[in-house]
Amino acid sequence: MAVSDFEIGTLRAEEIGDADALVKEAGWNQTEADWRIFLDFGTVYVIRDKGK
């Protein structure tokens, strides 16, 4: 895939479920509550596949 196949954005509240799925797949320790805190007090940057 080319770099242009992706875009950088910010995590939206409705995507917390997607972030939680990534956590489980990667074996990280964040919880859904953690993601909400991150969004309430900061910014979470994401890389999205433009084709999805």
Mean pLDDT of the chain: 89
**Over 60: is that where the pLDDT of 1 sits?**
no
Q: Please state whether the predicted TM-score (pTM) of the whole model is above 0.75.
A: no
**pLDDT, tens digit (0-9, with 9 covering 90-100), for 6-24:** 999 999 999 999 999 999 9
* CA dist 36 → 15, 25, 31, 43 (Å): 11, 19, 9, 10
Count of the separate structural domains present in the chain: 1
Domain around 32:
3-49
In this predicted structure, the answer to whether residue 2 has a pLDDT above a threshold of 70 is: no
